[in-house]
A = this chain, B = another copy of it.
Amino acid sequence: MRIIGNIVDLIRQAGSLGQSRVRSEDLGDALQRVSPEEGAEVLRALRPYEAAQALIDAPTETVRRLLEFIPDETVAAYLDILPMDDAIDLQEEMGMERWERLLTLIPAQDAAEIRRLQAAPRGSVGRLITEAFFRVGPDSTMEAILADLRLANPAKYETINDLYVLDDADRLIGVVSIRRVLRSRPDQTAREVMDPEPISVLRSTSGEEAARTMSRYGFYALPVLDEQGRMVGVLTGDDAQEILQEAETKDVLALGAVSGSAEPYLSLNVWHLYARRMPWLIGLFVAETFTGIVLRHYGQSEEGLNISPLMYFVPLVIGAGGNCGSQVTTTITRALALKEIQPGEWWKVILKELLVALMIGATLGLIGALRASAPAPFGWEQELSMSLLIAFALPAIVVWAATVGSCLPILAQKAGVDPAVMSAPFITTFVDATGLIIYFELAKRLILSQ
């Protein structure tokens, strides 16, 4: 309630100051910290243009929940206000049925543009472009171009840093920067001053590749062509930035054995976190049993390596602890790096992580215990006490790993050290050793004392 109070204050203030405004990025960020009902109330208090922008800048999961509290007409009004490449983002956050209904509520021309964008394959840059770029003919003079710019609708164009020179068949033949236009003589033509070798991509190019091309050359917008060389739109800087950040986050999370898209930490609930981690853990769990098989093979071979059955489960147990710890650290370090977690919110994070760890630990413990006592070749044919040990040891170690994995990066940041230093490899190694102590202490009580 403190936060929503602040937001409403900010909005009132903005209204009274006239020119001043709350930035949509800050509003979008704040929306994930309030309930969907409160969020919808905030949006109603804003002018539609600002509400639409805030919605676009809020995390996917937050928007998904919020949209249930906003009537169709209002969402359609937002769609109509937004640049089409942003409007299309909202589709992911509602069912196809509602989306189709909304498209009938907005002007037919906009709906047609949205359908054109949606026809491009998922992940391709063709889906992310805006058709509203500033085009000029090769024979337009600088004077005429400046006059056109003065009359252009400011809401329509996301960027006017580069103007695109198109021939009669809509083929891109050059680019002129606004700077160049300002500095050239008023009677010079676009053809005379343009860069005749503009860098462009095909609309079938992947979004990430297009964004990397743009960042490589330091462009603010990148022209996108169809297969006939006709210019169909531009990828704008804000979208490219977002694609790159999401791609980075996805790669970082994959390194830490977490799958899923680049959603801000606080917008995900415990079920989301559980669902993004379990598939990897089960995969790694299966893989880790091969290490156990190798140990067992040499332990039972005639050379008499003398390995106690208790040892067969060591790779599984330390693997589960290490992998969970690395998932937690990676997730939290990334959220800290992107400033998704504010200083006062660490206790929320630790509580959430402990809850997720309990759920994961219980799941892994169950699977592990079943495996331990199941008959060969799927199980290890161990005694019941061994199954019991696994059923208790795995949750204990996973919760311990989550505690270490969530507290260390936060403590590092509080101490002014880059949390990335408390990185996954160190936490894995630390959890390996301490997890083994938990395992053997439980073993002493459950097995060796019998």
Q: Which residues of A contact B (CB under 8 A)?
A: 19-20, 23, 25, 146, 149-150, 152, 154, 160-161, 178-179, 182-183, 195-197, 199, 212, 215-218, 220, 237-238, 241, 245, 247-248, 250-252, 254-257, 280, 283-284, 287-288, 290-291, 293-295, 298, 303-308, 310-311, 314-315, 318-319, 323, 326, 330, 333-334, 337-339, 420-421, 423-426, 429-430, 432-433, 436-437, 440, 443-444, 448
Contact = CB atoms under 8 A, between A and B. Distances in A.
Contacts of A420: 250-251, 254-255
A18 to B, nearest CB: 10
A293 B436 CA distance: 10
A287 B426 contact: yes
B303 A448 contact: yes
The 6 closest A-B pairs by CB, nearest first: A257-B425, A218-B238, A290-B433, A287-B429, A291-B433, A306-B308
A82 B424 CA distance: 40
Contacts of A306: 306, 308
10 contacts: A20-B197, A25-B216, A254-B421, A255-B255, A255-B256, A255-B420, A255-B425, A287-B426, A298-B436, A305-B308
Given A255-B256, A283-B426, 7 more contacts: A287-B429, A288-B432, A298-B436, A303-B448, A311-B311, A323-B425, A326-B425
Contacts of A423: 254-255, 257
B305 A307 contact: no
Nearest to A178: B178
A284 B425 contact: yes
Contacts of A182: 146, 149-150, 160, 178
A211 to B, nearest CB: 11
B294 A437 contact: yes
Q: Majority SS of interface residues in chain A?
A: helix
Contacts of A288: 429, 432-433
B255 A217 contact: no
Count this chain's copies in the assembly.
2
A339 B212 contact: yes
B339 A284 contact: no
Nearest to A195: B19
Contacts of A430: 287
Contacts of A179: 154, 160
Contact of A436 (B183, B251, B291): B291
Nearest to A181: B182
A283 B196 CA distance: 55
A429 B323 CA distance: 10
A284 B218 contact: no
Which of A283, A337, A425 gathers most chain B CB within 10 Å?
Answer: A425
Contact of A149 (B183, B216, B238): B183
A128 to B, nearest CB: 15
A293 B433 CA distance: 8
A420 B251 CA distance: 6
A184 B34 CA distance: 39
Contacts of A254: 420-421, 423
Contacts of A218: 25, 237-238, 241
A298 B252 contact: no
A333 B284 contact: no
